[in-house]
Amino acid sequence: MIVGLTGGIGSGKSTILECFKSFGIPVYIADDEAKKLMNRSKVIKRKLISLFGENAYVDDQLNRPYLASKIFNDKTLLSKMNAIVHPKVASHFNHWLNNQDSEYVIKEVAIIFENNLQDQYDYIITVVADEDLRKQRVMKRDNVSREKVEAIMKNQWSDADKIEKSDFVIVNDDLQKAKKQALDIHNMLLKLLKH
């Protein structure tokens, strides 16, 4: 069983993933794997350089600030980049999945709904948190301005829209409560597997 985990920037997805790991559930973080593949895969490198030019890589490593500046307000370029990277991540995930032996796995993808990927999951958990708290978390974590965080949030679906399409919701304003919600969902998923 594949469970998707999503949530807006700063909602605390990583914290919740740690909870599921502590329950012995394998976790696949799509963004992290995509970054690794963009640095490792010769095919992806070649295609990204042809799409973005030589500046796409510096010292053989992905030039993330450069790419971010190119795709941030250019949906067409973003789609082209995703068309290069996403299929590779999908096949990497399938290979990873075949090597897991737990009752279910969690695949974390920040933009499941934005990319219309919800059909790839048996269940979806959305992590939400107070908007101001999210902004503070990201500003502190990434050392960026409030405006930058707000611009990113504008490109993501609202929590309300995500909640409507999700099977489970974790409110991550209070860590102890969020951990309890994660455990409750874990137990529900195990029950669902038995039926």
Question: Annotated binding site for ATP, which residues?
Answer: 10-15
Under a CB-based contact definition with an 8 Å cutoff, are residues 4 and 118 in contact? Answer: yes
Close Cβ partners of 6 (under 8 Å, ≥ 6 residues apart): 13, 108, 109, 110, 111, 112, 113, 124, 125, 126, 127, 162, 166
Binding residues: 10-15
